[in-house]
Structure 1
Amino acid sequence: MYGEVVSTETLTPHLIRVVLGGPGLDGLVAPAGADSYVNAFFVPPGAPYEVPFDDDAVRDLPREQRPYPRRYTVRSWDADQQRLTLDFVVHGDVGRAGRWATHARPGDRLQFRGPAGDWTPSPDADSYLFVGDESAFPAIGGALERVPSGRPVVAVLETGSAAGELALSSPGDLSLVWVHRDGAADLDTLLVDAVRGLDPLPGVVDAFVHGEAASTRAVRRHLLETGAVAREHLSCSPYWRRGLDDEQWRAVKGAWTREVEVEGDVPA
């Protein structure tokens, strides 16, 4: 399946929204959850093929010519207009996905598989906590829109500076807490320090903690050790790791995730 770029929008200095449309989206199944994602494939410069391409045919090409897979949250899907919206974190003209998004123009094509993934805020929770950096903003933005009306929801959001803050809304009783990396002494503890400073949320708390690996690990440990969130009500996943590029992180992510999981509720 593939989409053609309909429009792009710079949301913040490091976040670009790309809207896809066209007949390549025919038959797309509506995403099941707020954190549904597509596996997008980015064609390297000079590759001897273009989108749409045959998956089997490109597998036999040299590694440097094969498409590079990256997972992106579906920010929204408009079935009536057949428009798929994806938000990309960009850091200048680097990174395969970020570079593509930075230079995307109407008519450009992006091939993908999916969507998959079905996490969404539990309708039975009493309150909600969402924590993450820019890489989690699309999922958090979608999740906020699915919180039941009037229920308490807090989003603790990390960005570089005030210029990276987004307008977010929810039918819930929303409190936004922005934390900025600029001037921070310890980036690994920036989010967890903000979470420690929150007033306790009432009742059963449904929590979503996604983003940089060390930061999400620290928040996860705090929430479980303090009993603020029960393990069965916590969705926690590392999207990236400070100091590693995409390929380096993909190589070690499985081991990192297993190490975090065995920590359970016990301090490491």
Structure 2
Amino acid sequence: MTLPVTFVEVAAVRRITPRAARVTFEAAALDDTVGGAPDQQVKLCFPRPGQAEPVLPAQGDDPMGWYQAYLAIPEAERPLMRSFTVRRRVPGTRRIEIDFVLHGDTGPASAWALRAEPGDRLGMVGPSELYARQVPLAEAAATADWILLAGDESALPAIATLAGALPAGVRALAFVEVADESERQPLDGPADLTVRWLYRGGARPGVVLTEAVRAAELPAGTPFAWLAGEADAVRALRRYLVGERGVPKIFVDFSGYWRYRLTQDDAPTAEDLADAQEKLTMS
């Protein structure tokens, strides 16, 4: 299994909401499969201060060997790596669009996006089968009675691609928590999709989302649930759906994209490790 590794260069940056930026990247090399499926994950590698571009090992056929080579780079030079969803592939080009949540200088990705300009370069790893969905969307839509999508603004790019890929005739319900009404984005597609926008205000991230799903009168039948966003909220929603609603575990695709008051560079908690282990046993 080859792990694609390439450099990408900023071609354009534009604000799509007050707290989100869409960056168009031109890739040095881009496989035809990139942008061909919804919820497609890549990892972006950000240069350290003083570097014009990140230091990266060359592409190889052994993903674990590549990652070990990445870890062998001295920490002061090793790029910071973060996961993102491919929002769109510009047809007929090597250009892709990726959305960034702008939450100030509290993380390397947000800080970079606030200052990004055409010509800036990042590394990109993937997409790869290693990051692929647990259950293909077409299989989920054909098997379940309806589709549940739930997440915060960090999950909006993935939710948008999923909404666009659901076929006509499929019933879907999306719960999306954002800071306020100005952060709403279009969610379009051929499916019978109802979107419930939730505004966080001053609440802790994920609380409004969790309470809204628990209080909702959900459609009858067994849903396929896709959950992503703040890790504690995703965990709580999954436990509710499986434990109280009786949704089979295999019908819940879940990802804790970020952790409240913790960074991706902080050590995983016991619950983080348990979630990772369960995803491995389900794959």
* TM-score of the two chains, using structure 2 as the length reference: 0.81
Opposite residue 93 of structure 1, the aligned amino acid is: D
Which of 98, 112, 118 is equivalent to 2:132?
118
1:260 is displaced (CA, Å) by 4.7
Return 5+ residue gaps in structure 1 as ranges: 264-268
**Contact residue 35 and residue 96 of structure 2 kept, 8 A:** no
Tell whether 2:271 aligns with 1:256: yes
* C-alpha separation in 1, matches of 2:172 and 2:188: 11
Distance 1:65 1:198, change over 3 A: same
Does residue 1:16 correspond to 2:31, yes or no?
A: no
Q: Deviations over 1:72-105 (max 9, x none)?
A: 1111223512221111112123311111111111
Please state how far the C-alpha of 1:227 moved relative to its aligned partner: 2.6
Matching residue of 1:144:
163
Which digits, 9 at most, give the CA deviation of each residue in 1:181-217, with x for residues without a partner?
A: 1143x64532121112322224331110111011111
Cα distance in 2 for partners of 1:30, 1:43 equals: 23
Q: Does 1:170 align with 2:189?
A: yes
| Whole-angstrom distance in 2 between the partners of 1:233 and 1:17 | 31
Q: 1:257 to 1:32 in 2, by over 3 A?
A: farther
Q: Is the 8 A contact 2:225 2:252 kept in 1?
A: yes
Deviation at 1:133, TM superposition (A): 0.6
In the alignment, which residue of structure 2 is the partner of 1:29? 33
State the partner residue of 1:266.
none
CA contact 2:150–2:174 (8 Å) conserved in 1: yes
Matched residue SS, 1:97: helix
Q: Does 1:216 align with 2:234?
A: yes
For residues 190 and 26 of structure 1, do their structure 2 counterparts lie closer, same or farther at Cα, with a shift above 3 Å needed?
closer
Letter in 1 for 2:48: P
Q: Aligned with 2:141: secondary structure?
A: coil
1:66 paired residue number: 78
Q: For 1:91 and 1:197, locate their aligned partners in 2 and report how far apart those are by CA, in whole Å.
A: 29
1:242 maps to 260
Structure 1 residues 152 and 108 mapped into 2: Cα distance closer, same or farther (>3 Å)? same
Amino acid at match of 2:120: D
Give the C-alpha shift of residue 259 in structure 1: 3.4
Q: Which amino acid aligns with 1:132?
A: G
- For residues 144 and 204 of structure 1, what CA distance do their matches in structure 2 show? 19
Alpha-carbon spacing, 1:252–1:261, altered in 2? closer, same or farther (3 Å): closer
Distance in 2 (CA, whole Å) between partners of 1:14 and 1:221 is: 30
Q: Residue 209 of structure 1 aligns to a residue in which SS?
A: strand
- In 1, the alpha carbon distance for the partners of 2:251 and 2:177 equals 22
Match 1:104 to one of 116, 119, 129: 116
CA contact (8 A) 1:31 1:118 kept: no
Q: How far 1:113 moved relative to its partner?
A: 1.1
Q: Is the 8 A contact 2:229 2:257 kept in 1?
A: yes
Q: Which runs of 4+ in 1 moved over 4 A?
A: 51-61, 260-263
**Structure 2 CA distance for partners of 1:27 and 1:175, relative to 1, 3 Å:** closer
How big is each residue's C-alpha offset from its partner over 1:47-85, in whole Å with a ceiling of 9 and x where there is no partner?
3x6357545897665412221111111112235122211
How high is the TM-score relative to the length of structure 1?
0.86
Partners of 2:37 and 2:93 in 1: how far apart? 19
- Once the two structures are aligned, what percentage of the paired residues are identical? 33
Report 1:173-188 matches (<5 A): 173-184=192-203, 187-188=205-206
Q: Distance in 2 between matches of 1:166 and 1:30?
A: 23
